[in-house]
Amino acid sequence: MSENGNTCPAVEENFEAARREMVARQIRERGIHSKRVLDAMMDVRRHLFVSRDQASQAYADEPLPIGKAQTISQPFMVAAMAEALSLEGSERVLEVGAGSGYQAAVLSLLARKVVAVETQPALAAAARERLSRLGYSNVRIEEGDGSMGWPPDNSLEGPPTAEYEAILVSAAAPAVPPPLVVQLAEGGRLVIPVGGSENQELLQIVKRHGRTTQRSLYACRFVPLLGRYGWNPIAPGSPRE
């Protein structure tokens, strides 16, 4: 594979066939019906978001290691979470836990603007480089603790109530981080795995008239959310609730 991700046409065709199979068997047949989500899953070349030696596994029905003890989520989970955000194309989306940038790439095809926060500097740098090389120009990767949310305009000044129509947390939280609810716009959707360190429930939380309702979508298992509202502080000694 060359640096911009181009392979010879025959290899690229194999990846495309594997991707088509993934969308049909792992995603559509398991109940994801949104055409926009299915198209986005077909569009994003997942094999370019994993290391070269993982590329042959890129369309398998499982999460894959991306380094730093982190994983790129299983394709079905990526699609299910995207569908649960009910994106129509005009939204500002926050993703907490950018990892490889794969989920952010999928979301970028479904919304207007994606801000994806990653706590691991090496992963954030790699995701930023990869997304820009592949032309995903409406995604911004930020390095830091996304459990506290993120100001959409990149400035720490101004009103603290940044607003996103959709927020996705791609790591398991012990409880819903309050700042994420604050940063959710009226009518906005927050999708987040919440529970113990081994097993969680994927929750969809909707904010209306300042109040939230929630429903449980799937049982799931994610790597832990760290940071202020995660499992343990990123910086030793930093305050916790």
- Quote the CA–CA distance of 208 and 189 in Å, as a whole number: 10
Catalytic residue among 34, 51, 73, 132: 73
- Quote the CA–CA distance of 14 and 24 in Å, as a whole number: 15
Q: Does 73 bind ligand SAH (CB under 6 A)?
A: yes
Query: Rounded to an integer, what is the distance from CA 153 to the centroid of its chain?
Result: 19
CB burial readout 182-209, b (16+ within 10 A) else e: ebbbeebbbbbbbbeeeebbbbbbebee
Binding range to ligand SAH, per CB under 6 A, among 82-90, 97-105, 128-136, 180-188: 97-105
Site string for ligand SAH, 141-180 (x = CB under 6 A): ----xxx----------------------xx---------
CB 224 within 8 A of CB 197: yes
Binding range to ligand SAH, per CB under 6 A, among 7-15, 85-93, 118-126, 183-191: 118-126
Q: How far is the CB of 96 from ligand SAH (least distance, A)?
A: 5
- Quote the CA–CA distance of 41 and 205 in Å, as a whole number: 23
Site string for ligand SAH, 6-45 (x = CB under 6 A): ----------------------------------------
The Cα-based distances of 139 to 100, 101, 114, 134, 160 in angstroms read: 13, 9, 5, 11, 21
Q: Is 73 a catalytic residue?
A: yes
Q: Does 204 bind ligand SAH (CB under 6 A)?
A: no
The smaller minimum CB distance to ligand SAH, of residues 208 and 238, is found at 238
CB 196 within 8 A of CB 121: no
Query: Which positions touch ligand SAH (CB under 6 A)?
Result: 66, 70-73, 96-100, 102-103, 117-120, 123, 145-147, 170-171, 223, 225-227, 230
Active site residues: 73
